[in-house]
Chain A
Amino acid sequence: MTLIECKKLTKKYGNHTALSNISLQIESGHIIGLLGPNGSGKTTLIKLITGLLAPSSGSVYVNGQPVGPDSKSHISYLPDHSYLNGSMRVRDILNFFDDFYEDFDSMRAFDMLAKLQINPNHKLKTLSKGTQEKVQLILVMSRRANLYILDEPIAGVDPAARDYILNTILSNYDESASILISTHLISDIENILDEVIFIQNGTLHTHAGVDDLRQKENNSIDTIFREVFKC
């Protein structure tokens, strides 16, 4: 089933074209890496899918419906900047999410906090940067959504916690859901991906299955990325 469909999507900021004529489809049940150099348009694409930006032209459909309040309830989104109130305790933020989202699973969230040894009584701003990122990821992954969109989810997190988080992602998402992950840490996540999307200067460079790409190029996705986007 098609979860996301982008048709000739273009986004301009004034004179600057951030995304140009992107058409792509994302099926349900897949984990997709959204990869591209800095400023290539990854976050713009994500914000168009989540409805935080309106396209200059073209359209986005989620579950066959145009982006709107309904599509937002199906998407669990981890933005690249935190929007949480730092003076709230972790426990209260979890309760806040529980009030806000019907599909939020508190048990799962508290369970993950315990596994990562995060004290729910601490205020968010007293936690280290990496720990704050873990809390945000726990919030996002504790929803039972159709689509998880993670913008740079593991950049500030140590390698051991990264493994735990990736395993959490693998074990928690159900087969009808898809996960779109934007990151620069390709070698850390490439083994869990089904597909990659390469974006270059706002245009779609490649959209392919990872194993097909490895077979064709005889290289890891990380190496292919370094070659395609060589400076």
Chain B
Amino acid sequence: MPWNLNSDRPIFIQIIEKIQMDIISGLYQPGDKLPSVRDLAQKASVNPNTMQKALSELERTGLVYSQRTSGRFITEDTAMIDNLKSELAKEIITQFLDNMEKLGIEKEEAISLISQISKGDGHDTD
């Protein structure tokens, strides 16, 4: 299954996250048309009703809008997409710091570890 959905969390939430990610990463550009519910459902190997639910939720948040007869489109509001991006980044960092804390690594130490490792990466690609 190309979408790699996990069965122990609601599927529609995972679909929302996946489409948000595709918007942030630029796979879907602002103003792009989304495939039909049926095509998306088939691609993700999920029930069309579940896909419909996820898309309605994305529409409610404004990230996606529908035009009556022509389908669903990605928002052209780039500020909204940037907002979503920084929100997600915050979430990932908070999660990361929580995990570090579980390892007994304090914030400052974690930050210095990050800069060490990212410098190391820089050398590799030089």
Chain A interface (Cβ < 8 Å from any Cβ of B): 29-31, 163, 166-167, 170-171, 175, 187, 190-194, 210-212, 214-215, 218-223
Contact = CB atoms under 8 A, between A and B. Distances in A.
Interface string B19-51: 000000000000000000010011001111110
B84 interface: no
B97 interface: no
Contacts, number: 58
Contact of A191 (B13, B38, B42, B45): B45
Contacts of A187: 7
A162 to B, nearest CB: 11
B8 A219 contact: yes
A170 B9 contact: no
B12 interface: yes
Interface residues of B, number: 20
Given A171-B42, A222-B7, 5 more contacts: A191-B46, A191-B47, A194-B49, A211-B50, A220-B8
A72 to B, nearest CB: 26
B50 A194 contact: yes
Contact of B46 (A175, A192, A214, A219): A192
A29 B41 CA distance: 14
Given A167-B42, A170-B41, A170-B42, A175 B8 contact: no
